[in-house]
Structure 1
Amino acid sequence: MANLETSQTSSPNTAERWWHRATGYQVYPRSFADSNGDGVGDIPGIISKLGHLSDLGIGFIWLSPVYASPMIDNGYDISDYRNIAHEFGTLEDMDHLIAAAKDRGIGIVMDLVVNHTSSLHAWFQRARTSRDLPEHDFYIWRDPGPDGGPPDDMRAYFGGPAWTYVEEVDRYYFHYFSPAQPDLNWQNADLRAAIYDMMSWWLDRGIAGFRMDVIDLIGKDVDARIYEEGPDLHPLIQEMHRKVLAGRDILTVGETWSASTDTGLLYCGRDRKEIDMVFEFSHIRDGWHPDLGKFAAHPFNLVTFKRTLFAWQELIRDEGWHALFLSNHDLPRQVSYYADDGEHRRASAKMLATVMHLLKGTPFIYQGEEIGMTNAKFERIDQYRDLDTLNHFEEQVALGVPPETFIAGANRNSRDNARTPMQWNSAPHGGFTTGTPWIEANPNAHEINVEQDLIHPESIFDHYRQLIQIRKDHDVVVFGHTVPLLLDDPDILAYQRKLGDETLLVAGNFSDKPRRAELPGEVCGTGECLIHSHDVRNKVDRDLALAPYESFAILMK
């Protein structure tokens, strides 16, 4: 498993780790591959598709939760951290996956969900019966307010009040998300010890690290109404590092919706002893409607996107690291959101991959992205399964929003766009299952699928495979600093990567029209074209001309 060993080579600023040259691939187990025909993806299904991932060239899988769960939030409500959900398989299946992936040079990075548990977790089941049991203090409780109601008017992320009453203890518990997901009290030392023990248990089973779900919420102070990046956040992560992570050659990436360029290096700075990188969402939130949020259709603004993207690249120029992504299980399909999922779908998919993968950081591919899967474009609310979408539909329709208006926004941004079944071939349901899938397959699965893409002369999969190999082969991609170009251009994203005497020039057209732009003279010249979405080009003139959704990367001489 050579690519999971620590390299002794180094860049000017950073000792090289195995994940610097690796590309991650997120598997959403429920929708990836169903081995037994029950309509739900499972661990044996993932094992059966490891050849596909190995051919792609990835270094590790980020595996969304497979723990025991009632699945109110599709596994992000965990009832037993040391067991596997029956619909996904068994602990023996999980061990088999870890070993089989390792044989192919692929690590398994598990989802660590420790801001909250399921309300069916044994801890909470005991906590709700008595104030005197130790587990009661594993959660966040408050007495009723002066009027007998909730302690305050905080609203939950998935809709409704953030406090739920339990008659047996005459108290309210806090849940940032849904009542089925009570928040853990990270101020309790016994709780932290139990979590650290669980983490070590999984690492000892051979996993390659953790993706830490909403880790920026664990330091919250509910009385001060500080929920994100609370006062105790970084001391808690530093303790986790000391107790569990230090001395292990693993990858840790934190999901941090609140992180900004002001706080990013607090998580992953050189001397912080916290985590390796963060998923931050500034470039995602920039595209949401300023008043109505993500469920209101809102046009994409490339200039705003570029300024955010390059601000983070500047932040990690000399220290820290970054997770590069446009898609995941919580976001729409990137080719539908950022580009064109119709006539120019192939060029769009390649362009988005080119401009993101060649930045500084570790790229993450979301399942189906490598073949250009698109948003589902459902027509009715009963086609959706996502708790977030369904709850907000009820709330907004009650407030007078027309259902068709909400559906339009959901078709752009609902989490279910990413959760339709992986499209493997032209069989029913995209070859995902022989049964009835838990959520409908995208109607275009018969034409957009792995089997069809691999035989296409302009394969998106092959483009991704080339990008992954370029990262492995070229130091300038791994450690070069990023120089933004054409910051105010509304259609073109362009930049240079520089390391020593090497310069990589990258450009992509986000428009469905041919575009021209004037480059600085010192940028132009000839070189070796490493990747191109249309015809090969080895020369760049000052007058840069790009076809619709064209992209390229040239190692300049």
Structure 2
Amino acid sequence: MTEWWKKSTVYQIYPRSFMDSDGDGIGDIRGIIQKLDYLHELGVDILWLSPVYDSPNDDNGYDIRDYYQIMKEFGTMADFDELLAEIHARGMKLVMDLVVNHTSDEHEWFKNHPDFYIWRDEPTNWRSFFSGSVWEYQKERGQYFLHLFSKKQPDLNWDNPELRETVYEMMRWWLDKGVDGFRMDVINMISKVPDMHDAPGGDGSHQFLNGPNVHTYLKEMNKKVLSKYDIVTVGETPGTTPKEARDYTAAKNQELNMIFTFEHMGLDQASGEKWDLKPLRLTDLKENMEKWQHGLHDEGWNSLYWNNHDQPRIVSRFGEDTDWRVESAKMLATCLHFMQGTPYIYQGEELGMTNVRFDSIDDYKDIETLNMYKEKREAGVPHEDIMVKIHAKGRDNARTPMQWSAEPNGGFTTGTPWLKANPNYTEINALQHNDPDSVYQYYKKLIGFRKELEIITYGDFELLYREDGDVFAYTRTWNGEKLTVYCNFSENTKSVARPEGEVLIGNYALHLGEGDVLLKPYEAIVYYQQ
């Protein structure tokens, strides 16, 4: 089997917010079908669908009630089958979200197979990712069950062989239907230390991140399921080092094709808590990216991303989303897409969509955000101070409806959207995608280069201007070819050495002449030498 995913670009769809076909305010599968030509024109190879399974929606579909049914709000299995056929007809592939660390507490297993879950007589002091304890008492059983996330998301007991076989059977069912792979939600949390005990500050992560049997279980999954199909797999693995990532992704280990790292997503927080804000230091970002580029270069494979359904919009986060929005959106894309790995584009990123700033907490829907707000208000933190954190880091930043046009609600729905649209849809929307200077057309070019230039897939990475606090610069070299990538992360004009070769792409009018290159605010420019 070829490693086709190494030259692919992935586009993540968050179905609830992508396109509503029936006016109920909730995006759906038929809405996705309507927009496939837009995605095909962009040039992406793989569509990753956030969960569309039957769910009571405590955590927007990541709490699954039935793995074999489609959520009614999203449509029917017939709609899904049509979507899959239409994706394949356009030469694209579909990756499903696989959520098997936990289910919904409304899943039939929780009622009829309690040994598929983790129970204890006495709780530990661990804190949930969504605030509060990870333990919930069940009167009928007289025990506590573990839930690392919401109390409606009990964790599965992967130490039970019957549970594992039941999960593998479900995975085969989807793969036999023709899906092209899985993005595996928090897959490095499936193995817990058997003897769970209290942890300093309630942080039990060292007892469930990259746990004692996780590689055993993934090797078993690969042998029994994944290796039988020509598919791609990516594991969401928070708290993973490059060495651990190699263990997960090295071909010889026969586990996963690639993983998501989270380290670069924590560089603008001052402590272990995501809401503890601090400005990004570019030197930290460069050092982190270099570590991962080198760490997985010969063994393993990187996923490249700035955005997803859990992260704020990158142009508001590491760029500048008012005066220099278009330039910084293109610059950030350039910086990422010339690195080694498989790039992921999150819906709206290709338009330069921004964070949203709702004034009222009532306009937010995300369980993590709402729990945090309640907790901090009870601790006496002023509303305005909490909203600053939510505007910067809240997950609803990524979940506001896709901005298709300047029509009401950005053309996402003819009804009332489940989450309010970002008011800037009148200026930022997909109607601009045919403009040759649009962010969309720039992304289209970047995706095309990855298909054409082998150096992007295979080249060595070398960081330049290591100590510079404004410029992220690096080279890629392979088989006598060289790419030099300059990205200015600031409004300052910066001077850099003019490299050999021709300009391949840039987000300003091209530099001609001799001497050093003067980078304008948020400028990106790439030179290619053969």
TM-score class normalised by the smaller sequence: over 0.9
Aligned residue in 1 for 2:71: 85
Q: Deviations over 1:294-349 (max 9, x none)?
A: 22332111110110111000012212111000100000000000010001000000
Q: How does 1:59-208 map to 2 (within 5 A)?
A: 59-126=45-112, 135-143=113-121, 145=122, 151-208=123-180
Residues 306, 493 of structure 1: 8 Å contact kept: yes
Q: How many residues align?
A: 521
- Confirm or deny: 8 A CA contact 2:29 2:80 kept in the other structure: yes
2:500 aligned partner: 526
Comparing 61-70 and 372-381, the one that deviates more: 372-381
Rounded to whole Å, the distance in 2 between the matches of 1:223 and 1:179 is 21
Q: 1:455 Cα deviation (Å)?
A: 4.5
Say whether the 8 Å CA contact 2:511–2:517 is kept in structure 1: no
**Matched residue, 2:487:** 508
Aligned partner letter, 2:241: S
Maintained 8 Å contact 2:128/2:149: yes
**Which of 166, 175, 183 does residue 211 from structure 1 map onto?**
183
Shift of 1:116: 0.0
Letter in 1 for 2:208: Y
Letter in 2 for 1:525: P
Note the residue ranges of structure 2 that are not aligned, 5 or more in a row: 197-203
Q: Which amino acid aligns with 1:40?
A: I
How many angstroms apart in 2 are the aligned matches of 1:315 and 1:20? 17
2:512 & 2:481 partners in 1: Cα distance?
15
Aligned to 1:247: 228
- The 2-side partners of 1:104 and 1:535 are apart by 34
For residues 13-58 of structure 1, what are the alpha-carbon distances to aligned partners after superposition, in whole Å with 9 as ceiling and x for unaligned? xxxx111111000000000000000000000000000000000000
The answer (yes or no) to whether the contact 2:84–2:94 under 8 Å persists in 1 is: yes
Residues 529 and 538 of structure 1 are in contact (CA less than 8 Å); yes or no, is this contact kept in structure 2?
Answer: no
How far apart are the structure 1 equivalents of 2:26 and 2:132?
29
Distance 1:320 1:540, change over 3 A: farther
Corresponding residue for residue 201 of structure 2: none
Please, which of 326, 330, 336 is the counterpart of residue 356 of structure 1?
A: 336
SS at match of 1:246: helix
Does structure 1 retain, via aligned residues, the 8 Å contact 2:377–2:383? yes
Separation in structure 2 between the aligned mates of residue 308 and residue 234 of structure 1, nearest angstrom: 25
Out of 513, 520, 536, the position equivalent to 2:510 is 536
| Paired residue type of 2:310 | D
Note the alpha carbon deviations across 1:350-395, whole angstroms, 9 max, x for none.
0000010110000000000001000011111111100000001111
Alpha-carbon distance in 2 for matches of 1:444, 1:58: 26
Corresponding residue for residue 411 of structure 1: 391
1:468-499 deviations in Å (ceiling 9; x for gaps): 00000000011111111111110110100111
Matched residue of 1:526: which SS? coil
Residue among 204, 218, 233 paired with 1:237: 218
TM-score by length of 1: 0.92
Q: 454, 463, 466: which is aligned to 2:445?
A: 466
Distance in 2 separating the partners of 1:330 and 1:162: 20
The alignment's TM-score, normalised by the length of structure 2, stands at 0.96
Corresponding residue for residue 523 of structure 2: 550
State the AA in 2 paired with 1:342: T
Structure 2 distance, partners of 1:355, 1:427, is: 33
How far is the alpha carbon of 1:72 from its aligned partner? 0.5
| CA distance in structure 1 between the aligned counterparts of 2:480 and 2:222, rounded to whole angstroms | 37
> Is the CA contact 2:251–2:257 (under 8 Å) kept in the aligned structure 1?
no
Task: Report SS of the residue matched to 2:67.
Answer: strand
**SS in structure 2 opposite 1:426?**
coil
Asked if the contact 2:95–2:182 (Cα under 8 Å) also holds between the matched residues in 1, the reply is yes
Confirm or deny that 1:33 pairs with 2:6: no
After superposition, residues 300-449 of structure 1 pair within 5 angstroms as: 300-449=280-429
* Preserved CA contact (<8 Å) 1:296 1:410: no
State the shift of 1:540 in Å.
7.9
**Structure 1 unmatched ranges of 5 or more:** 1-5, 8-16, 127-134, 146-150
What is the distance in 2 between the residues matched to 1:299 and 1:206?
A: 44
Deviation at 1:222, TM superposition (A): 5.7
Contact 1:26 1:61 in 2 (8 A): yes
Could you tell me which residue of structure 2 aligns to residue 3 of structure 1?
Answer: none
- 1:475 maps to a residue whose letter is E
Give the AA of the match of 1:295: W
Matched-pair contact (CA < 8 Å) for 1:526–1:538? no
8 Å contact 1:525–1:539 — kept in the other structure? no
Question: Is 1:42 aligned with 2:15?
Answer: no
Please state how far the C-alpha of 1:528 moved relative to its aligned partner: 2.4
Structure 1 residues 172-224: Cα deviation after superposition (integer angstroms, max 9, x where no partner): 00000011000000000000000000001000111110000000100112633
Out of 245, 261, 267, the position equivalent to 2:242 is 261
Amino acid of the residue matched to residue 230 of structure 2? D
AA of the residue aligned to 1:334: I
Determine helix, strand or coil for the equivalent of 1:525. Answer: coil
The answer to which of 216-225 and 106-115 deviates more is 216-225
Q: CA deviation at 1:456?
A: 3.6
Contact 1:525 1:540 (C-alpha < 8 Å) held by counterparts: no
Equivalent residues of 1:321, 1:361 under 8 A apart? yes
Aligned to 2:199: none
Q: Tell me the C-alpha RMSD between the 2 structures.
A: 1.3
Structure 1 residue 454 displacement after superposition:
2.1
Taking the aligned partners of 1:497 and 1:455, their CA distance within structure 2 comes to 31
Q: 1:303 to 1:326 in 2, by over 3 A?
A: same
Aligned counterpart in structure 2 of residue 277 of structure 1, from 253, 258, 265: 258
Task: Give the secondary-structure state (helix, strand or coil) at the position aligned to 2:326.
Answer: helix
CA distance in 2, matches of 1:167, 1:121: 18
**1:106: Cα distance to partner?**
0.9
Deviation at 1:288, TM superposition (A): 1.5
Distance in 2 (CA, whole Å) between partners of 1:99 and 1:160 is 43
CA contact (8 A) 1:296 1:406 kept: no
